[in-house]
Structure 1
Amino acid sequence: MSSVGVCNSINLKGSVSIIKEFFNYCINNILFQRSIYPPDSFTAVQHYGLTIFMSTDERLKKYLQTIFDQMQVFLAQRKLHRVVMALIRIDTKETIERWEFKIDCDNSVSEDKQIKVDLKAIQTQIRDLIRQITASVTFLPLIDDRVSFDILFFTDKDTQLPSADWYDSTSYIIPNAEEVQLRSFNTKIHNIKASVAYKQNGL
Structure 2
Amino acid sequence: MATIQKGKTITLRGSAQIVVEFFNYGINSILFQRGLYPPEDFRMVKKYGLNLLLTSDDGVQAYLKAILSQLDKWIVAKKISRLVMVISSKDTREVLERWSFDIQLEQSDDRKENFCETKKSKTEKEINSQIAAVMRQITASVSFLPMLEDPCTFNILAYTDKDAEVPAEWIDSDARLITKNAEQVKLRSFSTSVHKVDALVAYRLGDD
Common fold: TM-score over 0.5: yes
How far the C-alpha of 1:112 sits from its partner, in A, is 2.9
Q: Does the 8 Å contact 2:44/2:53 carry over to 1?
A: yes
Q: Does the 8 Å contact 1:102/1:193 carry over to 2?
A: yes
Which residue number in structure 1 is paired with residue 183 of structure 2? 178
Is the partner of 1:84 in helix, strand or coil?
strand
Is the partner of 1:10 in helix, strand or coil?
coil
CA RMSD across the alignment: 1.4
Q: Is 1:68 the counterpart of 2:73 in the alignment?
A: no
Q: Is 1:22 the counterpart of 2:11 in the alignment?
A: no
Matches within 5 A, 1:107-186: 108-110=108-110, 111-113=113-115, 115=117, 116-163=121-168, 165-175=169-179, 176-186=181-191
Which residue number in structure 2 is paired with residue 35 of structure 1? 35
Which residue number in structure 2 is paired with residue 102 of structure 1? 102
How far the C-alpha of 1:172 sits from its partner, in A, is 1.0
User: What's the TM-score, normalizing by structure 1?
Assistant: 0.93
Q: Does the 8 Å contact 1:7/1:119 carry over to 2?
A: no
Point out where structure 1 has 5 or more consecutive residues left out of the alignment.
1-5
Taking the aligned partners of 2:170 and 2:129, their CA distance within structure 1 comes to 34
Structure 1 segments (4+ residues) deviating >6 Å? none
Bigger drift between 153-162 and 64-73 goes to 153-162
How far the C-alpha of 1:7 sits from its partner, in A, is 5.2
How far the C-alpha of 1:107 sits from its partner, in A, is 5.5
Bigger drift between 169-178 and 183-192 goes to 169-178
Percentage identity across aligned positions?
43
Point out where structure 2 has 5 or more consecutive residues left out of the alignment.
1-5
Query: Match of 2:114, as an amino acid?
Result: D
User: What's the TM-score, normalizing by structure 2?
Assistant: 0.91
